[in-house]
Amino acid sequence: MIRPVAEEDAPELARIYNHYIVESVATFEETPVTAADMGARIAAVSGAGLPWLVSTADKRLTGYAYATAWKPRSAYRFTVESTVYVDPEAVGQGTGTALYKDLLVELRRRRVHAVLAGITLPNPGSIALHEKLGFRKVAELKEVGYKFARWVDVGYWQALPGKIPDCPDTC
């Protein structure tokens, strides 16, 4: 089931996200976050009028996806950056795809024109997910992050929700 985030989801969101902070370069954060941190992030996304969705299975959070403003200047107001994280136990079960499809529908409803996704490289699973949903690679930034004693590249993928084939039926 996919639904809008609730404030009481913050501890589970922190649990999922902290796995990626501690175990991977999927995020460049290096210090685990608290439930209060996640609560503040939920409030910021909600306050910006953007969607934050969670997926659940057996009453347990299995992932989340949300969008934030890409840049603060007014001409960028129709562009967002998307984020999706899946509980490691739910990876490969379609959770990320389902979350992203619903997120893209919500963004289209909000008249978002462009969605950007930053992906640390290499990351074939995330690339496959984004490209399956209509995102295309538009940039690659070399050695812009330093985590776990190594330099990490970031690629950017872009989608135009209103121009994804068959959207919203397949989004």
> 55: which 2 tokens?
């997926």
Residues 43, 109: Cα–Cα separation, whole Å: 20
The 10 Å CB-count burial string (b at 16+, else e) for 132-144 is ebbbeeeeeeeee
CA torsion angle for 145, 35, 117, 55 (degrees, to 10)?
140
Residues 6+ apart with CB under 8 A from 8: none
Residue pointed to by tokens 């499809």: 101
Q: Is residue 36 part of a domain?
A: yes
In order along the chain (171 residues), what is the average pLDDT of each group of 10 residues?
Answer: 97 98 97 98 97 95 97 96 96 93 93 95 94 95 98 96 56 44
Regarding beta strands 114-121 and 150-159, do their DSSP bridges make them parallel or antiparallel, or are they unpaired? antiparallel
Bridge partners of 155, per DSSP, are 119, 140
Phi, psi of 167, rounded to the nearest 5 degrees? -70, 135
Distance of CA 27 to the CA centre of its chain: 11
The residues, ordered by sequence, that sit 6+ positions from 156 with a Cβ below 8 Å of its Cβ are 116, 117, 118, 119, 137, 138, 139, 140, 141
CATH number of the domain within which 95 lies: 3.40.630.30
Domain extent at residue 85: 2-163
168 within domain boundaries: no
Contacts for 97 with CB less than 8 Å, ≥ 6 apart: 129, 132, 133
- Residue 164 is predicted with a pLDDT of 58
Q: How many domains does the chain have?
A: 1
